[in-house]
A and B are shown apart, each in its own frame.
Chain A
Amino acid sequence: MRGCALSYEFDFSFLNDYMPELWHGIWLTLGMTIVSIVPGFALGTSCAIGRLYGPPWVQRIVTIYVEGIRNTPLIIQVFWLFFGLAVLQVRVGPFPAAVIALVINVGAYTAEIMRAGFLSIPKGQLEAAACLALKPSQSLWSVQIPQAVERVYPALVSQFVLMMLATSIMSQISAEELTGVAYMIQSFTFRGFEVYLVIAVIYFVMACLLRLTLLGVAQVSFPRRRRLGTPL
């Protein structure tokens, strides 16, 4: 057995032969991630606000949505959406379907993270805003959302990185992202070990880049952090 392992010769020639496919996979993975972040964040924040401050029926709906999503596998949600829409005669391509599924999925997790952020703001802040005659919406925009985001930013970054890694199942609905491309290459070359090694490195690099980018966004969005180096 040992002799066998040692005699294995690595072959990375697929890197040359399948470069366009690999790039295509990378762009698709990055694309569906980046397109999903902003709407996912907006959906999650709205849901957090609804669950905290909305009327009882809104709170109930948001709770059902959040718990439903957080307690079922992403791939089932994706299938359900993709094939469910087909049953309803709604024709949606794999990429939009993947994005919709990601937004719905990450929105539920973001809702819980942001809810924790809102709850961590001292009551005195809300009292001060109300006593300055700010409307509830003005208090939300100017006082609560900025502070909540700042407090939970690292958790949000982790969630979005996780979401990017989770896109690796999207080839199941024929959105040929990076993992889908890897599967295709290894089925042609039978070089599964090398292919998945390379793919893992690519994911790793993309995750680091996404993290760095989101931390850069924080530097721009939180002037206090930029000025004082306040830890996130």
Chain B
Amino acid sequence: MPREAEISSNEREFIQQALHEGIRIDGRAFDEFRPLNLSFGDEYGVADAQLGKTRVVAKISSEVTIPFPDRKFDGVFTITTELAPIASASFEVGRPTEQESLLSRLLEKAIRRSNALDTESLCIVAGSKCFALRADIHVLDFDGGLVDTCCVALLAALRHYKRPDVSVNGEDVKIWDVREREPVPLSILHYPFCVTFSHFRGVEGSELMLIDANAAEEQCREGEVVMTVNKYGELCQIAKYGGATVDAMALLNCARLAAEKVKVLDRFVTTKLDQDAKKRDIGGLMAELKAENER
């Protein structure tokens, strides 16, 4: 099926009319996320994020390679997002849609180019050996809010992942098996989260900004603004798509709101990670096994 079934004009008008009256079709407030759920796999670096009916699994894996010749001190970090028909019949295999390229570009900007992951810490021997970290994002269910969900899943997976320990003795490098030495967590500098605002035109030229639109609302919107903020309120990137013009003051408002939302998201992910760590820490051995020093 080459394209998504469009919603009918009646449905579109109903959604818009309801928004003008200050009501969303699923009864949420305008600045409210759908219920978010996060679970981790048995292995390190697998996170399953569910935002309403949208579901994304992120999986981190690593291998040892040669660093790029122009970046001798940096490891390699790649994010792969491929939408498959498992999420919606309108996603085709082998033919990237606009949505797919926008998604991967946004994640690239939000996580990779904002230097969330310290790639220098992935270097083993400068110029000859480094870790190549790979993040595979599998979208399993699609009901809008893809960027926000992917970002949560990816970040949670990165924070959950542990790479094998290495010991360097001159030119000799030993990669320790997970069973031999406790693997080490990645060094992550800050935790950026994406918040998507969907822009609707309200009554008498006023503007409506909706957080976390579902698939039906996404089809009716006139534009979207994606903001990436970390918990310190630092803005990492802004992207605006769609033709509608958005007022500068509205954007400032969005940034303020995004900073608030990100704090909640960050707390949620941290709690979930702590719960998972507690579950794995059988007999309280983790503190003895880990190699890193207390700061």
Q: Is A bound to B?
A: no
Chain A residues with CB under 8 Å of chain B are none
Residues of B within 8 A of A (CB): none
